[in-house]
């Protein structure tokens, strides 16, 4: 189920914010919003594809998620977390290309969206590798 683990992570982050009285300003709020919203969104995308729904819905949803991506980039660049800011910038590019790809059923925009998906996926894999090896092995990879 696409998005399920992101949604669970978002709920865990909200519980942490509530239980430990995290007060603003704190980028953890953006992480909680993003994990929860993207989790629900990706779950909905998966269901829409599974049931053969209209792809134009994805284009309209992309507008709201483009906005979340822009806010995420703003927040993480502001707190000097450049790698996560880059992630949100790449997500914004995915959603910018998703709007015409879905609403216009454009093959060219679908290819552009696929290109941004590929770049974003590679960046996410690098961030995962860097985070895990940093915590588990004490490595310090360039970010």
pLDDT per residue as tens, the chain (143 positions): 668 889 999 999 999 999 998 888 899 999 999 999 999 988 888 888 889 888 788 889 999 999 999 999 999 999 999 999 999 999 999 999 999 999 999 999 999 999 999 999 999 999 999 999 999 999 988 77
Tokens 């982050």, residue located: 13
Range list of H helices, the chain: 4-19, 28-50, 56-78, 82-103, 107-137
Is there a contact between 120 and 83 (Cβ–Cβ < 8 Å)? Answer: no
Give the model's pLDDT for residue 2.
Answer: 66
Residue 20 in tokens: 């430990």
Q: Is the pTM of this model over 0.85?
A: yes
Distance CA 38, CA 88 (A): 12
Is there a contact between 17 and 32 (Cβ–Cβ < 8 Å)? Answer: yes
Phi/psi of residue 88, nearest 5 degrees? -65, -35
């Amino acid at each position: 189920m696409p998005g399920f683990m992101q949604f669970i992570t978002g709920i865990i982050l909200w519980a942490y914010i509530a239980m430990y009285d995290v007060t603003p300003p704190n980028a953890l709020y953006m992480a909680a919003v993003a994990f929860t919203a993207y989790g629900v969104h990706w779950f909905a995308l998966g269901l829409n594809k599974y049931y053969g729904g209209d792809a134009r819905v994805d284009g309209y949803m992309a507008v709201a998620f483009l906005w979340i991506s822009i806010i995420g980039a703003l927040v993480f660049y502001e707190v000097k977390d450049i790698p996560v800011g880059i992630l949100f910038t790449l997500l914004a590019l995915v959603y910018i290309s998703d709007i015409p790809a879905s609403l216009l059923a454009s093959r060219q925009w679908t290819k552009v969206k696929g290109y941004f998906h590929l770049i974003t996926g590679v960046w996410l894999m690098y961030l995962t590798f860097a985070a895990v090896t940093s915590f588990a092995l004490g490595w310090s990879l360039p970010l």
